[in-house]
Structure 1
Amino acid sequence: MASEQIEEFIASSLWGRNLNAEQLRRVLGDTSELMAEGGQTVCHRGVRAEYWYGVVEGLVKVSNVTRDGRPTSLIGIPTGGWFGEGSVLKNENRPYDVVALRASHLAQVPAATFHWLLGCSLPFNRFLIEQLNARLAQFVIRVEHFRSSGPERHVAHCLAELFNAELYPGTAAMLRISQEEIALLAGVSRQLVNRALRRLEDARLLQASYGSIRILDIAALRAFASEADGKPSV
């Protein structure tokens, strides 16, 4: 049975608020919660996908390991984000690990409930199509960006990703995130993150404080991340 916090999280989500009373009642009755500590692996690569996850509070990263053993961060998922729908849809083993970067509170919707919603809720299907489309665009842009941009712009891109309103509607202008967590998401050193944040502060795109980032101009931050060379236009 879902806790009061998870009930509110689901009922106010982009998909939950469009369910009818019967559908919402079943989802809330079936959903459980997971409290993950920082560094804890939430989903293991190669294990059958039994749940669809929502980040009630916290920050997790989706990662993988290359053939030569190097860890690769794919995306970060902050408060308000949902993840894992692809593996649940295909009823397959997860092809990645999901690790909590800090203490995180997660909602777990069972795969059976997820598929039941697919069969009875048109709004849920519409949400899922939009979610998958946004996620595909995110990965395509990230791969292209990683190949063609320098590390400082890659840091800016990883930050801008966390403010994707389609995927992460719960992200406010002030995001609680440390430089170490940014480094883990971007796959770069903490020293490089520090240098990138100073440059972005000088350009008045954000304000960096201990353990948090305030975005001042998300459009300009995305423009800076996508530029090949030169200074950001502000």
Structure 2
Amino acid sequence: MQKVHAPRAASIPYSERLHASHWFVTLPETMREQMLAAAGLLSMQPGETLFRRGDPPCGLYFLLDGALTAGSTDARGKESLLTVIEPTTWFGEISLFDGLPCTHDVVAVGHALLLHMPQAALLRLLDAEPRCWRHFALLMAQKVRVVFRSTEAFSLLSASQRLAARLLWIAEGYGGMSVGLTRIGLTQERLASMLALSRQTTNQILKDLESQGIVQLLCGELRILDTERLRLAGNGHC
């Protein structure tokens, strides 16, 4: 990965992405400036690994452009996909709190550009400004809410409802954690892995949604055509 130091906020490309992050703009101005002064840009190639489960804590990341997958692979090479990370998402805060190894593999889907704040530099800033720990706790709390919602969906919703609900969450940026999307770069295999469904079941549900004009299936991705009807499908009213 190519790293380019970025000592000033004004020197960071896509600065509008930073200001679109509700979490970032709520930080005290001094903290924002110090974080950016300590940060660097990381450029990733398609298929490149940012870190793997069990790697030492490496700090906080902000995805400026592109997409990443977060998941794991077992000894047989079978992938378990947790989520797709889209622009304006912050991640890495769990290891910031507990100092334990990384929880998942994070891999670039295509070309990706990230802002990286190293662990040691962030801890020094937070030692100097302990009141800012609350902001980082709020960032982690956002993720916990998504996990609870996802767990509830697995317990209570049918396969078709779970798939529709997950597409809607991605389209709506997981409650504001990332930018909303109507074109989602997920293969059917990866979507099936994310939902613990077979590829055949996933394909059947997507074909049904496509026949109703709710989504359009493209090569390696899908396009959401009708968000409101997708919401109804997630609620079991389709």
Q: Which TM-score tier does this pair reach, normalised by the shorter chain? A: 0.7 to 0.9
TM-score (norm. length: structure 1)? 0.77
Amino acid at match of 2:141: N
* 1:83 matched residue in structure 2: 91
What is the match of residue 51 of structure 1?
59
1:42 aligned partner: 50
Counterpart residue identity of residue 41, structure 2: E
Amino acid corresponding to residue 168 of structure 2 in structure 1: A
Match of residue 216 from structure 1? 226
Q: Out of 142, 157, 160, which is 1:134 matched to?
A: 142
Cα distance in 2 for partners of 1:142, 1:95 equals 18
Letter in 1 for 2:147: F
Percent identity between the two aligned chains: 20
Judged with a 3 Å threshold, the aligned counterparts in structure 2 of structure 1 residues 140 and 24 are, in CA distance, closer, same or farther, namely closer
1:146 matched to which residue of 2? 154
State the distance in 2 between where 1:67 and 1:147 align: 27
Contact 2:161–2:234 (CA under 8 A) maintained in structure 1: yes
Aligned residue for 2:209? 200
CA RMSD of aligned residues (A): 3.1
Q: Is the 8 A contact 2:38 2:118 kept in 1?
A: yes
Call closer, same or farther: CA 1:202–1:43 in 2, change over 3 Å: same
The correspondence of residues 65-144 of structure 1 with structure 2, limited to 5 A, is: 65=73, 70-115=78-123, 116-117=125-126, 120=129, 125-144=133-152
Give the aligned residue type for 1:120. E
Residues 168, 227 of structure 2: 8 Å contact kept:
no
- Work out whether residues 62 and 89 of structure 2, in 8 Å CA contact, stay in contact via their aligned partners in 1: yes
Aligned residues: 226
2-structure distance, mates of 1:52, 1:190 = 34
User: Using the alignment, how far apart are the partners of 1:118 and 1:167 within structure 2?
Assistant: 28
CA contact (8 A) 1:118 1:125 kept: no
1:37 positional shift: 2.2
Give structure 1 stretches of 5+ with no counterpart. Answer: none
Change in Cα spacing, 1:117 to 1:221, as seen in structure 2 (3 Å) is farther
> Mean alpha-carbon deviation: is it higher for 190-199 or for 71-80?
190-199
| Alignment partner, residue 17 of structure 2 | 9
1:131/1:167 contact within 8 Å kept: no
Gaps of 5+ in 2: none
Query: For 2:139, what is the secondary structure of its paired residue?
Result: helix
Q: Secondary structure at the match of 1:46?
A: coil
Sort the Cα spacing of 1:147 and 1:36 in 2 relative to 1 into closer, same or farther, 3 A.
farther
Paired position in structure 2 for 1:28: 36
Does the Cα contact within 8 Å between 1:179 and 1:194 map onto a contact in 2? no
TM-superposed deviation, 1:45: 1.0
Q: Secondary structure at the match of 1:166?
A: helix
